[in-house]
Amino acid sequence: MLYFGAEGLIAGSSSLARRLGITPLVIGLTVVAFGTSSPELVVSVTAALKEEPGIAIGNVVGSNICNIGLILGIAALIKPVKVDLKLIKIDFIILIGVTLLFLLIVSDEFISRIDGLILLSILIAYIVTTLYMANKVRFKEIDLPIPIKLKKHSEWIDIIFITGGLLILIFGADLFLQGAKKIAIYLGVSNVIIGLSVVALGTSLPELATSVVAIIKKENDISLGNIIGSNIFNLLGILGAASIIHPIKTVDIGIIDYSLMLFLTLLIIPFAWTKLQVSRIEAIILLLIYFGYLYYLYLNIPK
């Protein structure tokens, strides 16, 4: 389900982007990124309502670590991921700024409704700015890695592919999440560790499927844009919405978890800057860091 959902999402979004004269990078940073983050949104909002802050905040921090360490690592291991200069100059910087803002907000171990409103306001400004900049270059020549060949079908077919793909992705991730959570609870793992590992991995499966399929289809912009856009949406949209519905205490998340999320975010810059791609060697480094982090979480499971 995750694979075929990603197939439909990539086919519909890339076709619609080119048909409208918008670059796949913008679609990856908005529609695809936010759509594949829907599982994180549902889980964190539900956890906040049920007063389970460990899952709510752990899901977001763990997902951002997973998106870079595991998903970008796997995608680049399959095929080196080429980097658009726009990502380095703008979106990477935005992600770093948002991450630092998030760490500032959680420094008092509490995310209030006011904090949530600030985060959502920044997300809206980011989306509006991204679409505005896309509109400015809409009718200019777009340099794409593969020739543009529009299929002879209506825009509604693209929309059906996008919508259907997202629904299948979300449902498939939900099935995985339910099973994984029950196994983790059965093993006696705390909510925080569930949020940082099992829940984060489960809700990040749509990003994994979408990025891998995008790499196979040579849609590098959608693959990397999806990861960066998802991390921005996780911090601004998911925590913003969840904390507005119910303020979140963050006392259960440790400094190592926050530090690793920031470290991986910063690590993208030197990796992406070298030859404007994330190489297979760098992919292996990302994967080793991620699995090392999982081992660290395992060591913290109550015996």
- CATH number at 195 reads 1.20.1420.30
On whether residue 61 sits in a domain, the answer given is: yes
Say if residues 265 and 95 touch (Cβ distance below 8 Å): yes
76: phi then psi, degrees, rounded to nearest 5: -70, -25
The answer as to whether 145 is a domain residue is: no
Q: Is residue 281 part of a domain?
A: yes
Report the pLDDT value the prediction gives residue 229, as an integer from 0 to 100.
82
- Contact by Cβ (8 Å): 92, 273: no
Q: Which of 248, 249, 253 is nearest to 45 (CA)?
A: 248
Whether 144 maps to a domain, the answer reads no
From residue 50, how far is each of 181, 242, 264 by CA, in Å? 15, 11, 30
Exposure of 118 by Cβ count < 10 A (0-12 exposed, 13-18 middle, 19+ buried)?
Answer: middle
Question: Is residue 123 situated within a structural domain?
Answer: yes
Domain membership flag for residue 147: no
CA distance 227 to 21: 22
Runs of H (alpha helix) within the chain: 2-19, 24-27, 33-36, 38-49, 53-66, 73-78, 85-86, 92-105, 113-136, 155-186, 191-193, 200-216, 220-233, 239-245, 255-273, 280-299
pLDDT of residue 139: 39
Burial of 303 (0-12, 13-18, 19+ CB in 10 A): exposed
126 within some domain: yes
pLDDT, residue 150, reads 43
Structural domain for 233, as ranges: 2-139+153-299
| pLDDT the model gives residue 256 | 93
pLDDT at site 140:
42
- Report in angstroms the alpha-carbon separations of 246 from 45, 52, 176, 282: 8, 10, 26, 39
In order of 125, 233, 268, 270, the CA distances from 33 in angstroms are 16, 8, 18, 23
| Domain tally, the chain | 1
How far apart CA 101 and CA 296 sit, in angstroms, is 26
Q: Judge contact between 3 and 213, C-beta under 8 A.
A: yes
Would you say residue 106 lies in a domain? yes
Residue 40 in tokens: 């994180």
Per-residue pLDDT of the chain (303 residues; tens, 9 = 90+): 767 777 787 778 777 777 777 766 666 666 666 667 777 777 787 777 777 777 888 889 999 999 999 999 999 999 888 877 766 678 888 999 999 999 999 998 889 999 999 999 999 998 888 777 766 654 343 333 333 344 556 778 888 888 888 888 778 777 766 776 777 778 777 777 888 888 888 878 877 887 888 788 777 666 777 788 889 989 999 999 889 988 888 877 889 999 999 999 999 888 877 777 888 999 999 999 999 999 998 887 766
